[in-house]
């Protein structure tokens, strides 16, 4: 991969060279292509299998993002799509029963997604020091996260300018085979970021009872600044944290 060093910035493809902008600056790489006829060649069996699994992982990643989109719109970094895709592919690789090219999320270990941070710039583990507990009851469909009594300034690491925080969560039951999901969201009220003692907080979500699909529970923190009685997202949410804290599989 080459880096553009000249003054002129190019984007697009010229001949076999593609010019593009990345986080590392303007880059250039050789365009690679395989004709449709060659893809049917037995020699490209591994390519076809990898392409099938890559496409399947892409759909699964999009499904997870859609399930939590209400929160992701405020709490995701610019590379969450590619990072989640990689995490989903690791789940597919754990599928020990499907043939090559057919590995999938529903046959893999979805618990590997626990701990995934939707905003890599603000991991939940560095934001909340207080220990929280999670409960997922498949029989009733109730999924909850509880945070014991805490002092905001001690329990939450907030960026400069924060006057209030909100603790947010969501639970989703996802069927990767049918590409469907059901999500439930919960949030605390705006909490003054100070030295006051806050009571035990439990965020509860009611999902369909007796589901056989994977259940995901996420927890996050949103940072606000009060101005004339109105709470505004701090830095457009770039400091917000959101992480998958529990995954329950049947």
Q: What is the dihedral of CA 145, 148, 149, 153, to 10 degrees?
A: -80
CA atoms of 244 and 124, how far apart (whole Å): 9
Distance CA 47, CA 250 (A): 33
DSSP 3-state assignment of 16?
coil
Where does 124-248 sit in CATH, by number? 2.60.40
CA distance readout (Å), 170 to 5, 78, 173: 46, 21, 10
What stretches in the chain show pLDDT beneath 50? 1-5, 7-8
Cβ contact 229:64 at 8 Å: no
Q: Which residues have CB under 8 Å from 235's CB, separation 6+?
A: 159, 223
Residue 248 · residue 114 · CB < 8 Å: no
What pLDDT, on the 0 to 100 scale, is given for residue 41? 64
Helix (H, G, I), strand (E, B) or coil at 90: helix
Phi/psi class of residue 65: alpha, beta or left (left: φ > 0; alpha: ψ in -120 to 50)?
Answer: alpha
Phi and psi at residue 81, to the nearest 5°: -60, -50
For residue 51, give both structure tokens.
Answer: 């392409």
- Give the residue extent of every domain in the chain: 124-248
With CA atoms as reference, report the closest residue to 183 among 193, 191, 171: 171
Q: Which helix (H) or strand (E) holds 30?
A: strand 25-30
- Return the H-helix or E-strand segment holding 17: strand 17-22
- What integer pLDDT is reported at residue 222 of this predicted model? 97
Q: How far is residue 4's CA from residue 175's CA, in Å, rounded to a whole number? A: 44
Q: What is the token pair recorded at 179?
A: 């590409």
103 and 95 Cβ atoms separated by less than 8 Å: yes
């Amino acid at each position: 991969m080459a880096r553009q060093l000249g003054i002129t910035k190019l984007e697009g493809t010229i001949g076999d060279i593609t010019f593009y902008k990345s986080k590392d600056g303007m880059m250039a790489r050789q365009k690679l292509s395989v004709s449709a006829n060659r893809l049917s060649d037995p020699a490209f069996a591994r390519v076809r299998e990898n392409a099938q699994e890559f496409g399947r992982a892409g759909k699964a990643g999009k499904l997870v993002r859609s399930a939590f989109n209400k929160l992701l719109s405020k709490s995701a970094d610019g590379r969450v799509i590619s990072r989640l895709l990689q995490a989903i592919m690791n789940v597919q690789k754990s599928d020990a029963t499907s043939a090559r090219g057919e590995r999938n999320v529903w046959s893999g270990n979805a618990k590997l997604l626990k701990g995934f941070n939707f905003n890599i710039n603000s991991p939940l583990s560095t934001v909340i020091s207080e220990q929280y507990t999670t409960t997922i009851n498949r029989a009733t469909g109730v999924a909850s996260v509880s945070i014991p009594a805490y002092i905001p300034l001690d329990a939450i690491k907030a960026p400069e300018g924060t006057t209030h925080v909100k603790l947010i969560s969501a639970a989703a039951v996802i069927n990767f085979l049918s590409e469907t999901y059901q999500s439930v969201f919960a949030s605390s009220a705006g909490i003054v970021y100070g030295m006051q003692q806050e009571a035990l907080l439990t965020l509860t979500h009611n999902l369909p009872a007796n589901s056989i699909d994977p259940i995901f529970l996420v927890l996050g923190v949103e940072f606000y600044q009060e101005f004339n009685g109105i709470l505004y997202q701090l830095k457009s949410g770039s400091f917000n944290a959101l992480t998958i804290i529990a995954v329950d599989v049947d």
